[in-house]
Amino acid sequence: MDQVVALELRSVDLQNPRNNKGHRTQEMGLKRLIVRRGQPFTLQLHFNRPFHPAADHITFVAETGPAPMELLGTRATFSLTQTRQGNVWSASDFTIDSNSLFVSLFTPANAVIGSYTLRIEISQGQGHSVTHPLGTFILLFNPWSAEDDVYLPSEILLQEYIMMDYGFVYKGHESFITSSPWNYGQFEEDIIDICFEILNKSLYFLENPSKDYSQRNDVVYVCRVVSAMINSNDDSGVLQGNWGEDYSLGVSPLEWNGSVAILRQWSARGGQPVRYGQCWVFAAVMCTVMRCLGVPTRVVSNFRSAHNVDGNLTIDTYYDRNAEMLSTQKRDKIWNFHVWNECWMIRKDLPPGYNGWQVLDPTPQETSSGLFCCGPASVKAIREGEVHLAYDTPFVYAAVNADEVIWLSADGQAQEVLAHNTSSIGKEISTKMVGSDQRQNITGFYKYPEGSPEERSVFMKASRKMLSSGRALSPSLDLLESGGSRDQPAQLQLCLARTPEWGQDLLLKLHARRAPDRAHLRGPIRLEVRFCAQALLHKGGTREPLWRQIVHLNLDFGEEIQWPLLLPYNNYRNKLTDEKLIRVSGIAKVEGTRRSILVLKDISLEPPHLSIEVPERAEVGKALRVHITLTNTQTVALNHCIMVLEGSGLIHGQIANDLGTLVAGHIIQIQLDLYPFKVGPRQLQVLISSNEVKEIKGYKDIFVAAARAA
């Protein structure tokens, strides 16, 4: 009798809790099915009668994109079978329990990522078929699957580069690197939808939606699309860059604590670019998107990063006789630091040997295939100088390897080489250490040790490849080749005599030592040293001088002198950028000769100190008291202080408080309660900004325990 009754679907259980946990997506929520490709997941189908394999035929149909087609990989039809058939869409390993059918669905490890609809078609014998919708699911990259191009065979690394939803961005200067806490928040419930919204607003999608969807199985393609979409130079991308000083129409890049607020604002305003970002904001937001999509990703900072537009591997900077760094119309610059991403993947588009970490840079600098994006460029290719390999490898190679030539300029002409530095660019390349709050120096992955035979050999190989493609040589090359490494009659060094704090006078010392040279073998020399201090801009330029001084020194053979220099607070008080960096430069003229000696010192001013204490054990749903203390060590008041707290799993969104004015020398103490809602390791990020100091940041690592049973 059973055979006569048509098989009808009564209900479906997509088993979200079980599947999401097995696919490590439960942090994104359990309301819907979110799975990773190349890994089976289970459905329960409940019918009006038991399923009969011999008579009942079930075909599954999975579709994604605007016009799904099997040819494009955006539509799959597959019948129920007892065993799985390799790396293809399949429904198999079924079990029958009364009127229920448990089925294991498998998606190939090279399937298109995205949101799918799933339905079944039921037929008996030669009769007509009936279609039933089963629901929707989201498919992500799977770094746990050995068949996936993003496979990373280390659980420790996957916990860091996929599952960790907070971290640090390294900023500042090679001599004083600061770690800024950042809330990636890739598992906040709406972020996955915003990630696909980003892909659906790209120019590639708008131009040809079906073709764009069909290429979303390729991690190289998806990375390039995201890299272009994080900035808004060509499209309605997520962030608008601003390297000026006027942020009145938006938020200063220094005042973001994390990616979630940025992505939510972009989505809520229909894809209006969020104002404003700079390199670390672009890279941190891209890290959120890529980790959310399932691609192992980290944020990397390169200190003294070359922006080499003409590709000649040389960055020229110019000073006048008064030691003032001159502005130039050239776009080649040395940024104090630059931040990009590395994503882990197999590069099937390259010869063997270039898999692993790939540089992706979402900061809009130069176009690549017509759009403002950069990468993926293989880190191994950069180290070996294989600059012909895709994508944008010459640009990244120059960022970490270019030479710096410093010129003495007069009347618009380069007069003398003050320095030719082959190892001053690409310093302290840094990322967060795995499983730790410490910084890891990864410079050795990008280049051989500075000055080693391998490093110079790779540099010459890359130079030949880049210059053979018609890139311009450095100007004044004849001057450069005629000198620059000559021995100098004196050695000069600028040192800080005490910790440089914003709001205080700065005390420096000039160390001068007479050195033997061919021109003045043993006699005394007389130096006139002209000093100049300027605010240093993030992109390598400077503002007008804020302090000058002239010092005369007599140096006898073998003699050392220490000369104190005072840079008063009033000189720099309103002259610095929000990053609080000062470049002090000095040019010494050796009397009786045409020789000049350059001495440089970059100073990063320390902000007031912020401390965060959480004395109690943290537990889901239970009030957690947080104590925040800010001490104003400055000699001036901090006006209009605003505090913003953020932390995935600890706070829904953000908490903002207006703290008013903090008088010089005073302490402000804040106590508030949080109600953690997710278990596991969490990070509380705290930002206090004021008119005078835009970025006072702190963080606290908090482990949240599960709620105790009543």
Q: Which residues are catalytic?
A: 279, 338, 361
Residues 6+ apart with CB under 8 A from 97: none
Instruction: List residues bridging with 275 in a β-sheet.
Output: 240
CA distances from 318 to 36, 73, 539, 599 (A): 53, 56, 15, 13
Q: Are strands 696-705 and 618-619 parallel, antiparallel or unpaired?
A: parallel
Task: Look up tokens 């979409």; give the residue.
Answer: 229
Q: How far apart are CA 269 and CA 201, in angstroms?
A: 13
| Contact predicate 131/7, CB 8 Å | no
Which amino acid is residue 524, in one-letter code?
Answer: P
Q: How far apart are CA 659 and CA 641, in angstroms?
A: 5
Q: How far apart are CA 4 and CA 418, in angstroms?
A: 95
CA distances from 332 to 6, 303, 583, 607 (A): 73, 16, 19, 30
Give 131: exposed, middle or buried? Use CB within 10 Å, 0-12, 13-18, 19+. exposed
Instruction: Find how far residue 282's CA is from the centre of its chain.
Output: 6
Task: Look up tokens 């001068």; give the residue.
Answer: 512
Q: Are strands 624-631 and 667-674 parallel, antiparallel or unpaired?
A: antiparallel
| Contact predicate 587/530, CB 8 Å | yes
238 torsion bin: left (phi>0), alpha (psi -120 to 50), beta (else): alpha
Instruction: List residues bridging with 334 in a β-sheet.
Output: 306
Q: How far apart are CA 419 and CA 566, in angstroms?
A: 26
Closest residue by Cα to residue 538 from 259, 333, 297: 333
| Contact predicate 48/151, CB 8 Å | no
Q: Is the dihedral of CA 205, 211, 214, 217 positive or negative?
A: negative
Q: How far apart are CA 445 and CA 424, in angstroms?
A: 17
Determine how many CB atoms are found less than 10 A away from the CB of residue 128. 8
